[in-house]
Amino acid sequence: MNYQALYRKYRPAVFDDVKGQDVIVRTLRNQIRTGRIAHAYLFCGSRGTGKTTAAKIFARAVNCENQQDGNPCGECGSCRAIREGRSMNVIEMDAASRNGVDDFRQIIEEIEYPPTSGKYKVYIIDEVHMLSGAAFNAFLKTLEEPPSYAIFLLATTDPQKLPVTILSRCQRYDFRRISTEIISDHLREVLEKEKIGAEEEAVRYIARKAEGGMRDALSLADQCISFFLGEKLTYEHVLEVLGTVDTEVYRRMLHDAAMGDASGLLAVFNSLIMDGREVRQIIGDFTWYIRDLLLFMASGGSSESLTLVEENREDLLRDSEGMSEARLMYYIRILSDLSGSLRNASNRRILAELALIRLCRPETDTGDYNALNIRMERLEQQIREGGFVRSPAEGSPAQPVRSGGGEDLPGPMPAAEGEKEPEPPEDEEPGFVTPELFQRIRGQWTMTVSRISEPGVAAVMRSYAEPFFRPEEPAVLFVVWHAFWEAYRSNEKVRLELEKLLEEKYESRLTVRFLSDREAREDSSLKKVPESKVDALIRQGVNFTVEMEDE
């Protein structure tokens, strides 16, 4: 027997086998079961999501002699004839190759004759958006008022190209992209039936690479199995067959871009080229990696849309240290523009290298707001490190250097020889969080927490920790940790270091208390915007008269 591709071998035969389209499947089954069948349906969605499969199951079900709760039985004469392609009641048509007026004149002539056996004549028209304007006009009247025994099932990946007159005469069903989790589960079932061993990481990578299409996932799996026939399907095998690389490489590329190391970034890129990777594939995978990191950061590390395993979540958490959302958005914009330019480029490698250099040189992009944010981040880093950082345009990679001819920048005056450094008195009175002081702390919060030495904490606190105060406890500064980062509220080392930083910066001994987001919501006395003394007096009824001087 000839070999049959996996996506054809395991094509669903009943509605229950269609994955990821539960709402549509339930609606169609109910219509068939109760006899509320419309005359025209429009199935929309991206490739491999089940449009044509659902149409074929629907065609068998409406003509089935022994329907089983809206599903075709698969055993009666009508089901077998349709499945084997010898039924005169189901006519399949590819509008990409038969899109003229004459093709639809033939349909108009044939539809006048009722089916010789079965209940319905079903016309499945795939890629219907490819029809010409004249063909749509010829088809319109028949679609609007067909005979009672005729059903039209239209499928398209581009519904916006259809005339409104066609759309208004059909029941429209939008097939959504199938989640990575559902595709992974189905792949495991298929591989188990084929008696092929596979690593979990390999299965999940194929599922993500399919981008929501079940057919694409099965085709990719088929390709990988054929290359390593008889062997267990590993993550390394999948990367080799699909021409992609491990995320560790893209992690290194991102680090080089963030450090302004154009030489290192280009070296990694050129090594991938020499290994036979295609330029568009490299740029596309790099963009998707940055996109995952951006979504991870924007959702507080709990993005369900990424469907991450725990190891990947830990990797992204490590990569997010020192990164900002503005920087990642800037990188994605540059790489997305590059992807559009690569389609028609005569020398893709040169264009890609120029774009990668731009990632390392945001100071050259004067028209982008996110590039300005990146330059500000570098200035803040220079201030924190106590020196100036040479612009990557002058010397790469970026290195902290001293001003002038290498002389040290002025620092605190050292104590005289034999003299001990003065120690702060232990019995010093605690400071108080006045509204004016809190305004300063809140306005300089990002700069303050950037000096936290605990690895990764500074980056997290800049975005996911926020200062509050309570008038009843003026000696305490409350810091609220949001969402995924609430576990940090028990980090005593960070709390003590923050108290020390606040004392050095504001010359006031404040007690820092960490709270979770939930605890802060339950405490209505916490204030985010303090009330000044003048505001308090006005609230108490004290009026301040304003006198205008005469000119």
Least confident of 78-87, 332-341, 488-497, 537-546: 537-546
Q: Where are the domains of the chain?
A: 6-175, 180-242, 247-380, 435-535
Least confident of 111-125, 196-210, 417-431, 510-524: 417-431
Examine the pLDDT at 453 and tell me if it is beyond 50: yes
Mean pLDDT of the 262-291 span: 87
**Rounded percentage of the chain residues whose pLDDT exceeds 70:** 77
Fold match between domain 6-175 and domain 247-380: no
Examine the pLDDT at 58 and tell me if it is beyond 90: yes
pLDDT band of 306, cuts 50, 70, 90: low
CATH topology (fold) of 180-242: Helicase, Ruva Protein; domain 3 (1.10.8)
Q: Which residues of 408-437 are buried (b: 16+ CB within 10 A; e: fewer)?
A: eeeeeeeeeeeeeeeeeeeeeeebebebeb
More confident residue, 543 or 407: 543
CA–CA distances in Å: residue 85 to residues 332, 361, 444: 48, 61, 73
Q: How does pLDDT run across 89-148, given as a tens digit for each residue?
A: 888 888 888 878 887 888 888 888 888 777 899 999 998 998 888 888 888 888 888 888
- pTM passes above 0.75: no
pLDDT of residue 78: 87
In terms of CATH architecture, what is 435-535? 2-Layer Sandwich (3.30)
pLDDT band of 454, cuts 50, 70, 90: confident
Interatomic CA distance for residues 330 and 376, integer angstroms: 14
CA–CA distances in Å: residue 226 to residues 3, 4, 6: 12, 12, 11
pLDDT of residue 272: 87
pLDDT of residue 471: 78
Examine the pLDDT at 154 and tell me if it is beyond 90: yes
pLDDT of residue 389: 42
Mean pLDDT of the 231-238 span: 85
How many H helices and E strands in the chain? 24, 10
Supply the DSSP string of 36-60, one letter for each residue. ---SEEEEEESTTSSHHHHHHHHHH
Closest residue by Cα to residue 154 from 176, 127, 120, 119: 127
Mean pLDDT of the 392-418 span: 42
For 247-380, CATH number out of 3.30.70.360, 3.90.79.10, 1.20.272.10, 2.60.40.10 equals 1.20.272.10
Supply the DSSP string of 495-530, one letter for each residue. HHHHHHHHHHHHS---EEEEEEHHHHHH-TT-BSSP
For 6-175, CATH number out of 3.40.50.2300, 3.40.50.300, 3.30.450.40, 3.40.190.10 equals 3.40.50.300
pLDDT band of 29, cuts 50, 70, 90: very high
Least confident of 126-135, 236-245, 379-388: 379-388
Sheet hosting strand 465-469, strand order edge to edge: 465-469, 476-481, 511-516
Neighbours of 110 (CB within 10 A): 13
More confident residue, 381 or 455: 455
